[in-house]
Amino acid sequence: MNAPILTIEHVSKAFGGIQAVQDCTFDVMPGLITGLIGPNGAGKTTIFNLITGFLRADSGSIGLHGSELRGLPPHQVQAAGVIRTFQHLRLWGKMTVLENVLLGCRTPLGESVLTLFLRPGRVRTEEAAARERAMEVLEFFGLSARSAELAEDLAYPEQKLLSMARIFATDAQVLLLDEPTSGLDTDSLAKIVPMVRRLVERGKTVLLIEHNMELIAQLSDEVVFLHEGRVLARGKAEEITRDPALTEIYFGV
Amino acid sequence: MAAYIAHYLVMVGIYSILALSLNLLIGYSGIFSLAHAALYGIGAYASAVAALKLGLGFWGGMLVAASVGALASSLVAIPSLRVAGDYYIVASFGLQMVILTVFVNWTDVTNGHAGLAGIPRPHAFGYAIDNPFKYVVLTLVIGALTYAICHRLTHSAFGRRLRAVRDDEIAALAIGKDVVRAKILIVTISSALGALAGSLYAHYITYINPSSFTLEESIFITSLVILGGTQRLAGPCVGAAILLAVPEALKFLSIPDTIAAPMRQILYGGLLIAFMFLRPEGILGSPHRKKPSAAIQ
């Protein structure tokens, strides 16, 4: 087995008197889908926020390929290779589907004032390449026919796909998906679940938050079970979902 | 009459530059600034002082004006734009008040309320721009240049990033955009362009004093942007053409000055309110109000 790509070691975070994440340790193996599960308030989204730099851990270490991510602002975490989606998607609704994905593509020359005015030729080449890449990504997600529409005009399952498409367009290797299946009906699930698998086939590593216990086994290779901010169990998806003690905590019976 | 129209066109040009540059913030970045008149003033004073005390020519003065404008605003933008939210409105309000106070009280340089007189008319390519007609051409050239700069900035990856920051800052951060840097950069550029308009004004009127660069003036520039429409580059220019025509039209009504001044304020206020209700996206925006039902869905 090769080395983990993302390592979370002894990470803690408190909000005032509430210990949201306590001495959390787990790692994510490259090329796998790791599911982060646990009852409401277990600290799943807090961990996402800690990894991606939206929150700063009180202690512990977050490593990507051995380099430290803790303390980096979100845009630098993304540059290092970890990117996330949001539970509430946060698409740019007034921008087109294509623009949403273009924002994930790297366009450093077009974003710099100097090169924008001094190297128009290179900026044009870069923009054309980015558009081509964005269209490929949309094709991959089955959204290319909608590229000119406003993101807010898409149906909800398509918006979910778009939120994944725009992070897929970045160079980031590790994708953090916050509840990719929430709010979807069975038909839409049948489209999105295999899509997550295809991300891994394209060389990405996925860490996802999931509430639906039935979907966990389908979606993930490994599962980390969180409870009250601690890692309660780790293992293969089948083992965790069949453990009666864990199911009891999860469903509160 | 021809000179009168030429004067109107010069002023429309100057205010178009102001409104275009302010719209980079209001329309394209979602940053609300109340300091634009102060930056306009900085440009006017910087190039006036450069011409009168340092003997710099028009172009050199413009460069000084843009640099000082960019510097002044970045001093406020760098700390205040690090804080999320609408904090910059307050910070820019402070900047406006402080700069105006400096214009009034730094008498060694600005000559206080009395202002600076005798600012030379510019020379361009060895050619004296000494009457309003020639000045129309000069203003048009600099206005077109400003428009081109704004167009390039907004219709590019740079502009796309700005709109992303405007619409959802958290999402922009998450996708890897340096949000703070993008905001500071656009405030600095907008200020430099605003200061350019000040330089153009100082060399045109040849006399400046603090009363041209007050908070009311900032609000006036804001209303040009809102009236014209924030979503199109040309919007603010249309706003300038219309709002500057209002006082000129009032002149033909032979109303005494004591009534005309407050009348003008009432008209501006009334127009702004009417637009908020009837055409919130401005003259060049979409003519239809958003229906409440669309928002509920």
Residue among B156, B174, B185 whose CB faces A78 most closely:
B174
A116·B164 Cβ contact <8 A: no
Structure confidence by residue, pLDDT tens digits, A115-126: 999 999 999 999
Cβ contacts of A94 on chain B, cutoff 8 Å? 163, 167
Interface of A with B in 122-141 (CB under 8 A): 123, 126-127, 130
Span of A25-34, B64-73, B104-113, B127-136 with lowest mean pLDDT: B127-136
Q: Is the pLDDT of residue B294 over 50?
A: no
Mean pLDDT, residues B10-25 = 97
Interface of B with A in 122-151 (CB under 8 A): 149
Q: Is the pLDDT of residue B287 over 70?
A: no
**What DSSP string runs through chain B?**
-HHHHHHHHHHHHHHHHHHHHHHHHHTTT----S-HHHHHHHHHHHHHHHHHTS---HHHHHHHHHHHHHHHHHHHHHHHTTS-STHHHHHHHHHHHHHHHHHHH-HHHH-GGG-B--PPPPEETTEE--SHHHHHHHHHHHHHHHHHHHHHHHSSHHHHHHHHHHH-HHHHHHTT--HHHHHHHHHHHHHHHHHHHHHHHHHHHS-B-GGGGSHHHHHHHHHHHHHH-SSSTTHHHHHHHHHHHHHHHHHTTT--HHHHHHHHHHHHHHHHHHHHHH-TT-TTS-SSPPPHHHHH-
CA dihedral B275, B276, B277, B281 (to 10 degrees): 80
Span of A149-153, B39-43, B262-266 with lowest mean pLDDT: B262-266
**Residues β-bridged to residue A34:** A207, A222
Is B151 exposed, middle or buried, given 0-12, 13-18 or 19+ CB atoms closer than 10 A?
middle
How far is Cα A163 from Cα A148, in angstroms, rounded to an integer?
16
Alpha-carbon A207 to chain mean position: 6
Confidence class of residue B127 from pLDDT cuts 50, 70 and 90? confident
- Whole-number average pLDDT of chain A: 92
Is B292 exposed, middle or buried, given 0-12, 13-18 or 19+ CB atoms closer than 10 A?
exposed
Cβ contacts of A116 on chain B, cutoff 8 Å? 152-153, 156, 158
Structure confidence by residue, pLDDT tens digits, B78-123: 988 887 667 899 999 999 999 999 999 999 999 999 999 999 999 8
Span of B23-32, B193-202, B234-243, B257-266 with lowest mean pLDDT: B257-266
Q: Is the pLDDT of residue A253 over 70?
A: no
Q: Is the pLDDT of residue B172 over 90?
A: yes
Q: Is the pLDDT of residue A112 over 50?
A: yes
The interface predicted TM-score (ipTM) is 0.92
Mean pLDDT, residues B159-174 = 95
Confidence class of residue B32 from pLDDT cuts 50, 70 and 90? very high
Structure confidence by residue, pLDDT tens digits, A52-86: 999 999 999 999 998 999 999 999 999 999 999 99
Judged by a CB distance cut-off of 8 A, whether residue B158 touches chain A is: yes
B171·A113 Cβ contact <8 A: no
- Whole-number average pLDDT of chain B: 90
Cβ contacts of A130 on chain B, cutoff 8 Å? 157
- The percent of residues in chain A predicted with pLDDT above 70, rounded, is 99
Q: Which tokens go with B138?
A: 């000069």
How far is Cα A41 from Cα A22, in angstroms, rounded to an integer?
13
Tell me how close the Cα of A131 comes to any Cα of chain B, in angstroms.
Answer: 11
Structure confidence by residue, pLDDT tens digits, A143-161: 999 999 999 999 999 999 9
pTM: 0.91
- The percent of residues in chain A predicted with pLDDT above 90, rounded, is 75
What pLDDT is attached to residue B85? 63
Count CB-CB contacts under 10 A for residue B85. 7
Identity of the residue numbered A125: T
What pLDDT is attached to residue A78? 94
What pLDDT is attached to residue B297? 38
Residue among A93, A127, A167 whose CB faces B157 most closely:
A127
Structure confidence by residue, pLDDT tens digits, A164-193: 999 999 989 999 999 998 889 999 998 898
Tell me how close the Cα of A151 comes to any Cα of chain B, in angstroms.
Answer: 12
